[in-house]
Every structure is written in structure tokens, then in C-alpha cells.
A = this chain, B = another copy of it.
Amino acid sequence: MSFDLSLNTGTTPKLSLQEAVDAVAAAGLRHIGPWRHLLEQAGGAEKAAQIISGAGLTATTLCRGGFLTPADAEGRSAALESNRAAIREAATIGTRELIMVVGGLPSAAHLLGGTGDRADRSVVDARARVADGIAELVPYAAEHDVRLVLEPLHPMYAADRAVLSTLGEALEIAAPHPAETVGVVVDTFHVWWDPQLQQQIARAGREGRLASYQVCDFNLPIADDALKSRGMMGDGHVDFPTISRWVADAGYTGPVEVEIFNREINDQDAAVTLETMKERYAELVKPFLRAASADASSAPTSSATV
């Protein structure tokens, strides 16, 4: 069945992998997108794979590789090594889709606990290092049948987390590589504002690179911890019907992941979160995820034909 709902474990950060898997199964869902630290806590990727498949679930993505922007040789080498490990882990838990948050500027690296040259603010150079890093990882990813899924992040995170801010730029970095090895993810929180969103989603579909669709709302005011400004679908300002139509028009039929960093949601009972998630998905997302051909008359503009 297509468009299955998947819980990204960033939504339930207090749960272990086993607890998250149990909560997902109890909610009647069959998919989960785990973060790497949960695999480690569970005793490694093999063990995590058993926990996931033991409950009859499938992993939709692994979060996350990336942080490819260190300018120094040591930082760069460590980043590549960490990404190779992430590729192996993705393969082990049975997903092809490794989400890549590409990293920010050296000038902001210290804010996330890393080192970095606080004078180096060149976003142009940082993007070039991302492209180089991806190129370096592609053979290893292909060998493990894993796809590096580039995630454009909201520009409010461009300095510290990802110098990749638009789907168009993600597709440019992906372009030199095979579509089965480098893809992109559409996360509504990050890209809803982009005036080129419709055309770039259509392009991602045409190029066979649309690897994941993640839904979560953009709340205002921005939370005091800006990372926690993500909201449950319907609570913020994202136009889910329109973006979901564009995604479906682009030919996407895969799972839909919900990844919400939000203090209130992260603190509440996961069963409550999962129920709300299912309701909002059924109301705001799923009805609009019909293939273009089945909906040609009501879709205002078919981006697939642009």
C-alpha cells in the first residue's frame, strides 16, 4: 500500500527504539524512520534491525548522515568515516534512504559542539565541500545499495546545520550522480516558502530522485530553541494539500514520514502524538496524495507537465 504513514523517531525523542517500535505497532502503523543514536543505544544496527522487523515494521529512512562541511583535513576525514558507518547502518536496518543534513559554516560549527574556523563564513566554499563529499561517498553508497538523500533545510539553519537551503540546489548537487544513489527529500517545514517548490518537486520526480516526503508544520512564533519550531500538521502555516498534490503529481508513492521537533509534542505521551498524527494526516495530507492521472480534473496545475 502506498503513502503509508511513518513515525520519524525525532517526534518521540524520549523513547528507545524498542519503545518507539512498540508505540508505532500499537498505533496500527507499519513504518518507522529511526535516528542513528537509537541504533547505537539498542546495541548496534543488527540488533536494531531485529527490533524493527520483530514487530513487523519496516524502516523508511535512517536519520542522518551529512555534516560534510569541515574545511580541515581531520574534520573532513572524520565526517566521511561517520557517513560510511551510516551507510552500513542504513543497509543493515533495511532502508535504502539515508537522510543527509549536509552541515553548516565553519563559523558556526562551535555552536553544535564542533570545531571550525570562526572566520570562515563562505557559503559558496561550504557548498563546494558538500558536493565533493557527496561525490566521495557515492561509490560506497552504491556498493551498499543505499541512497544519499539530500535534505534542504530551512534557511534559518543555513549557518549552523545545512548550507543546502532549496530543493533546486539539492538537485544540482545530486545531478552528477545516478538517481538510485543520490536523491532528495521534501520536508514541508523546510521548503514550504520556496517560490520554486512546485517546479523543483516536479523536476525531482522526473529525475527519479524524490526519495522521501516528510510532513510537519511551520509554527509561529519561532520557538526560543529555533529547532523546536516544527509543529503538528494543521497547527502552523504550511499548505499541506497543495504541497501534497505537487508531490503526488511528481509520481511519489512512497511512505510519508512525520518528524516534529516541538517541546510540547516531544514531551507528551507517544500514543497521543501518534493518534493526532494519524488524524491530521488523514485530514490534511492523504486525501491530496492521489496520482496526477487520477486527479487531473481537480488539480489546479499539474506540475508533472511543467
Q: Is A174 an interface residue (CB 8 A)?
A: no
A193 and B111 form a contact (CB under 8 A): no
Number of A residues near B (Cβ < 8 Å) is 39
Do most interface residues of chain A lie in helix, strand or loop, or is the interface mixed?
loop
Counting CB contacts under 8 A, is A166 at the interface?
yes
CA distance A194 to B196 in the complex (A): 12
Bound: A205/B288 CA distance, A: 41
A217 to B156, CA, bound (A): 13
Partner of A155, one of B127, B154, B220: B154
Closest to A121 in B: B239
Chain A 122-162 against B: per-residue CB contact (8 Å), 1 yes, 0 no? 11100100000000000000000000000000111011100
Stretch at the interface among A19-27, A82-90, A221-229: A221-229
A242 to B225, CA, bound (A): 30
Question: Cβ of B237 and Cβ of A163 under 8 Å apart?
Answer: no
Asked if A239 contacts B123 (CB within 8 A), the reply is yes
Does any Cβ of B come within 8 Å of A39's Cβ?
no
Q: Is the CB of B195 within 8 A of A121?
A: no
A108 within 8 A of B: yes
| Complex CA distance for A242 and B242, rounded to whole angstroms | 37
- From B111, B122, B154, B239, give the contact of A220 (CB < 8 A): B111
Asked if B163 and A193 make an inter-chain contact with CB atoms under 8 angstroms apart, the answer reads yes
Across the interface, which residues of B come within 8 angstroms of A238, CB to CB?
A: 121
Residue-wise, chain A 191-231 has the 8 Å CB interface mask toward B (1 for contact) of 01111101000000000000000000010111011100000
Residues of B within 8 A of A160 (CB): 220
How far is it, in angstroms, between the C-alpha of A222 and the C-alpha of B122 when the chains are bound? 20
**Is residue A65 within 8 Å, beta carbon to beta carbon, of the partner chain?**
no
Selected A-B contacts with CB under 8 Å, 21 pairs: A108-B237, A111-B220, A121-B237, A121-B238, A122-B239, A154-B155, A155-B155, A156-B156, A156-B222, A158-B193, A159-B193, A159-B218, A160-B220, A163-B193, A165-B193, A165-B194, A165-B195, A168-B195, A172-B195, A221-B225, A224-B224
Interface residues of A (CB under 8 A from B): 105, 107-108, 111, 121-124, 127, 154-156, 158-160, 163, 165-166, 168-169, 172, 192-196, 198, 218, 220-222, 224-226, 236-239, 242
8 A-B pairs closest in CB distance: A158-B193, A159-B237, A169-B195, A121-B239, A222-B226, A155-B193, A156-B156, A224-B224
Apart from the given pairs A111-B221, A156-B222, 12 other A-B contacts in the complex at a CB distance below 8 Å: A107-B237, A111-B220, A121-B238, A122-B242, A123-B192, A154-B156, A155-B155, A165-B193, A166-B194, A168-B195, A221-B226, A222-B226
